Amino acid sequence: MGKPDNDLRRIVSNGGLARVMAAHDPLSAMLVEEAGFDGIWASGFEFSAAQGLADVSLVSMAEHLNNLRNMAARTTLPIIADVDTGYGNAINVLHTVEQYEAAGASAIVIEDKMFPKVTSLVAGGRQDLVPIEEFQGKIEAARYARRNSDLLVIARVEALIAGLGADEALKRAHAYEQAGADLILIHSKQKTPDEIESFINAWDGNIPITIVPTAYPQMTEARARALGKVGILIYGNHAIRAAVTSMQKVFARIIEDGGIQNVNNDIVPVSEIFRLQRMEDVKENEKKFLR
């Protein structure tokens, strides 16, 4: 049935800006919560990367869903589920939303690309969009399928990614609002915030905007707040990038140094992993229950 208290909806409804960080497994989800973010982005890109696969609809819904369920079991933060295109047509979306809500999602993001999708930021990637009417049906299906009206249905507009321009992006966003979307996610691969800011300034709809400033990191939280229409800011792939950065550096030093003698003091001790694993709880429970 999803998490009982959807803090994301509360933040957005009160005119605030929810700061959401990507995660790809339960451990990274726990670290997102400890860092102080408002929510977790259950990123399809990150989960695909963690499997060593391209983000082109290769990982199944069942795998994504199980990962989200495991994350929800280890954190109290609301989770935004990245369900790509909804794993098919509007009929598939009915099942997708039902399953993700039951697994613990507080919001779902569906994008208006054709299945199978290609990740948005790759150079020269195929970016085919479905007709507007078809995607409206998916949004309506998502709203129909949710059992808790607090579950946020976020419509992701990929017109700027596909190179179709601001007019097409605005046309689609208005159509998706009409179909019942709670927020519009507008995505861009431009290296500056100009394209996104232009879209947001032109947006005259009644629902807030979600942005993912991966390609245009100059879009700070203060800058997003100043636009007055952004309800959710998602840091879309920084967990997996941080993990890869750290592992590459540590692994290279171990090879270079011929051992772990130098890196040992630069990485967290094993006791920190035990803390995250809640080993103290295990020890206490052993005292209580083992005979």
Indicate if 139 and 249 belong to the same structural domain: no
Residues 167 and 248 in one domain: no
| Per-residue model confidence (pLDDT) at position 13 | 93
Residue 258 lies in domain: 244-289
- Annotate 31-62 with DSSP letters as a single string: HHHHHT-SEEEE-HHHHHHHTT--TTT-S-HH
* Active-site amino acid positions: 55
Q: Is 1 a domain residue?
A: no
Q: What is the pLDDT of residue 121?
A: 67
Using one digit for the tens of pLDDT, what is the confidence trace for 247-256?
Answer: 999 999 999 9
Strands 39-42 and 18-23: parallel
Q: What is the pLDDT of residues 58-104, one digit of tens each?
A: 999 999 999 999 999 999 999 999 999 999 999 999 999 999 999 99
85 and 153, same structural domain? Answer: yes
- Three-state DSSP state, 102: helix
- Cα end-to-end span (Å), the chain: 37
Angle subtended at Cα 27 by Cα 24 and Cα 31, rounded to the nearest 5 degrees: 95
The mean pLDDT value for 5-20 works out to 91
% residues pLDDT > 90 (the chain): 91
| 140 within domain boundaries | yes
pLDDT tier, 122 (very low <50, low <70, confident <90, very high otherwise): low
For 188-239, how does the pLDDT look when each residue is reduced to its tens digit (9 = 90+)? 999 999 999 999 999 999 999 999 999 999 999 999 999 999 999 999 999 9
Residue 142 neighbours by CB distance under 10 Å: 30
Question: CATH number, domain at 118?
Answer: 3.20.20.60
Does residue 208 sit in the same domain as residue 167? yes
Q: pLDDT tier at 126 (50, 70, 90 boundaries)?
A: low
Domain count across the chain:
2
Q: Both 135 and 265 in a single domain?
A: no
Q: What is the mean pLDDT of residues 146-174?
A: 96
* Same-domain check for residues 220 and 282: no
Note whether 16 and 96 are same-domain residues: yes
Tokens 């078809």, residue? 134
Same domain, 229 and 250: no
Averaged pLDDT score across all residues of the chain: 94
In the block, tokens 């905007």 appear at: 209
The pLDDT assigned to 125 comes to: 66
**Mean of pLDDT values over 33-61:** 95
Does 261 share its domain with 222? no
pLDDT of residue 99: 98
